Structure 1
Amino acid sequence: MTPNAALFPGLIDNPVVLETGRYAAILGLAPSKGARSPLLWNAAFAAAGIDARMVPMDVPLDRLPALVAALKADARFLGGAVTMPHKQAILPHLDRVEPEAAAIGAVNALYRDGDALVGANTDGAGALSQLEDLTGGALAGKRVLLVGTGGAGCAVAAYLAGRVAALALANRTPRTAADLAARLGKGVVALPGPVTAADLAGIDILVNGSSVGFASGPAGSPLGPDTDALLAALPAGALVYDIIYQPAETDLLARARARGLKTANGLGMNLDQAVIAFDKSNPGAYPGSPGRDALRRVMAEAGK
């Protein structure tokens, strides 16, 4: 297959013509209908002078194994992203999965390691990166309580486990939190019921890893109607972090800010997911910490 030839006709539902020497892709049911990753990745390729593009690939579930095999066999494929509904389904078709992604049971990023195609999960990696920045690199000594252990919360927990002094998990269904804590080990514990003031009294970082927060008012707080009283139990120097970034200030963050607590939303996490995934697929394109900061700036500007 040569540049300017159609990529994988019969395997993907949207037409993709390769116009560069190499390429990345985002795989999903319909990423061609508005996925943000190509915008960010292509700005990063252009800024680094790399002859590559990220393209969306709309692939139904029954053709996913064949597409992954074709991508693996094509040395021009650098890696990319995986979106719904393939984050779990792609696992058995990869050569290797990073330990955190294996613990989560889902991948959202791919990269090539020689002839192998490796799966990663940068959801949790993005949160970890942001929390490291917010704590000035002192995350290892922090006690964290994470509320919500669904898909995104599970990813955040997998990356925090073993990297903080203590990690407690809370979930609307306590059994789900208990199962995740058992899988992660590394001193992770699950709360047996709803979060209490006693649970928060010694916490340095409270993280909302659930989707609760899109709504306004008490229904938009993962701590429920007693949010104000519960936040009052946090130490004065605690950080309240919400992975949601639309709205920019959730009900939880607004209430925490009103109490004088430090707050941050998930916008940086969302950006760092793409930064980390790009870095894995294109090692050396933006080397070192200055390069990572430059990549962040390029992608942030592209995403405005």
Structure 2
Amino acid sequence: MTALYGVIGDPIAHSLSPAMHNDAFRALQYDAYYHAFHITPENLETAVKGMKAIGVAGFNVTIPHKTAIMPYLDEIDPLAEAIGAVNTVVRRGGSLIGYNTDGPGFIQAFREESGKDVKTEKVLVIGAGGAAKAIYYSLAKEGAAAIDLCNRNVERAAAIQRANPFSCQSDVLGLKEAETRLGEYTLIVQTTPVGMHPDTEAQPVSLENVKPGTFVSDIIYNPFETKILKEARKRGARTQNGLGMFIYQGAIAFKKWTGINPDTDRMKSIVLDKLGGTLC
């Protein structure tokens, strides 16, 4: 019998996940189908019960349900519990178990594109939203040498730091202080929506003090090269957009569901095709 997987969100029609996962199933000759389910907040609890009742094998969770879904699951992975958000649900026996693959997806993309291990990195994470929290806690869990947080609202960043359940060396900075200290970091991660289409000329901090060779990552992939990445490249930094994080968070979810590592190059090709087939 064909296994059913999917993604829930509101809105959801724009999701690239069905194309990516259904192609992976076809390539592996795996008898499964992945569907985008439009679930509004008031129907979330009913939808989760329905997923369980009909035997959905696993599903992704996107905005605005990543936190709201947690009380309706049978078990939460410790990393997802710490982050306070679930983006992947796995059916195991009769139970639905929640995971967060966003942070691990970022780390895997960084390793693949940089050839480095996070344990050697002094990191600056820009932002204090859900993505910043997922990446910060995942880096801390993996043993990054040091991880500083900066944000316009310093207290929001401090709250993430205080709640971190994993041991790490960490400071909280305002944006201006972070700008003056950019030369200290080997990895800078931009997690805010600043620079996303259509406001593509904005950037959260100046990179005037960045060192050549620093790895600068922006989790945005529309546009493929944000203004902060353009500035970083001009100053001799290595750059990475958010496409790799999106691919690897999906690949990690796929492995959790099926036990199989999908072809991430093929996944990337499918997503690029859906985005217009260009890196510009």
Question: Normalised by the size of structure 1, how large is the TM-score?
Answer: 0.82
Secondary structure at 2:57 match in 1: strand
Q: Does 1:171 align with 2:151?
A: yes
Q: Does 1:247 align with 2:223?
A: yes
Identity rate of aligned residues, in percent? 34
Q: Does 1:300 align with 2:268?
A: yes
For residues 208 and 40 of structure 2, the distance between their equivalents in structure 1, rounded to whole angstroms, comes to: 48
Alpha-carbon distance, 1:59 to partner: 2.3
Alpha-carbon distance, 1:145 to partner: 0.5
Q: Describe the shift of the 1:90–1:83 C-alpha distance in structure 2 as closer, same or farther (beyond 3 A).
A: same
Q: Describe the shift of the 1:180–1:187 C-alpha distance in structure 2 as closer, same or farther (beyond 3 A).
A: same
For residues 147 and 164 of structure 2, the distance between their equivalents in structure 1, rounded to whole angstroms, comes to: 10
Q: Does 1:59 align with 2:49?
A: no
Q: Which residue of 2 aligns with 1:17?
A: none
For residues 30 and 178 of structure 2, the distance between their equivalents in structure 1, rounded to whole angstroms, comes to: 52
Larger Rg: 1 or 2?
1
Contact kept, 8 Å, 1:80 with 1:278, in 2: the verdict is no
Segments of structure 1 that go 5 or more residues without pairing to the other structure are 1-19, 287-291
Alignment of 1:115-194 (within 5 A): 115-163=94-142, 164-185=144-165, 186-194=167-175
For residues 162 and 129 of structure 2, the distance between their equivalents in structure 1, rounded to whole angstroms, comes to: 15
Alpha-carbon distance, 1:197 to partner: 4.9
For residues 133 and 168 of structure 1, the distance between their equivalents in structure 2, rounded to whole angstroms, comes to: 23
Segments of structure 2 that go 5 or more residues without pairing to the other structure are 274-280
Which moves more between the two structures, 182-191 or 255-264? 182-191
For residues 56 and 134 of structure 1, the distance between their equivalents in structure 2, rounded to whole angstroms, comes to: 30
Q: Which residue identity does 1:297 align to in structure 2?
A: D
Q: Does 1:69 align with 2:37?
A: no
Q: Which residue of 1 aligns with 2:19?
A: 39
The one-character-per-residue Cα deviations of 1:166-199 (angstroms, maximum 9, x if unpaired) are 1000111000110001111522524242234553
Alpha-carbon distance, 1:120 to partner: 1.4
Alpha-carbon distance, 1:242 to partner: 0.9
Pick aligned residue for 1:259 from 228, 235, 239: 235
Alpha-carbon distance, 1:281 to partner: 1.1
Contact kept, 8 Å, 1:47 with 1:298, in 2: the verdict is no
Q: Describe the shift of the 1:49–1:101 C-alpha distance in structure 2 as closer, same or farther (beyond 3 A).
A: same
The one-character-per-residue Cα deviations of 1:60-112 (angstroms, maximum 9, x if unpaired) are 3233223212322444x210211222111110011111222112211111112
Secondary structure at 2:152 match in 1: coil
RMSD of aligned alpha carbons: 1.9
Q: Which residue of 2 aligns with 1:86?
A: 65
Contact kept, 8 Å, 2:125 with 2:136, in 1: the verdict is yes
Q: Which residue of 1 aligns with 2:277?
A: none
Q: Which residue identity does 1:97 align to in structure 2?
A: I
Pick aligned residue for 2:251 from 275, 285, 288: 275
Secondary structure at 1:153 match in 2: helix
Secondary structure at 1:241 match in 2: strand
The one-character-per-residue Cα deviations of 1:244-267 (angstroms, maximum 9, x if unpaired) are 111111111111111111111111
The one-character-per-residue Cα deviations of 1:248-302 (angstroms, maximum 9, x if unpaired) are 111111111111111111111111121111111111x33xxxxx4xx21232232
Secondary structure at 1:189 match in 2: coil
Q: Describe the shift of the 1:74–1:39 C-alpha distance in structure 2 as closer, same or farther (beyond 3 A).
A: same
Q: Which residue of 1 aligns with 2:276?
A: none
Q: Which residue identity does 1:111 align to in structure 2?
A: V
Q: Which residue identity does 2:188 align to in structure 1?
A: L
Q: Which residue of 2 aligns with 1:213?
A: 195
For residues 105 and 188 of structure 1, the distance between their equivalents in structure 2, rounded to whole angstroms, comes to: 21
For residues 32 and 113 of structure 2, the distance between their equivalents in structure 1, rounded to whole angstroms, comes to: 33
Question: Normalised by the size of structure 2, how large is the TM-score?
Answer: 0.88
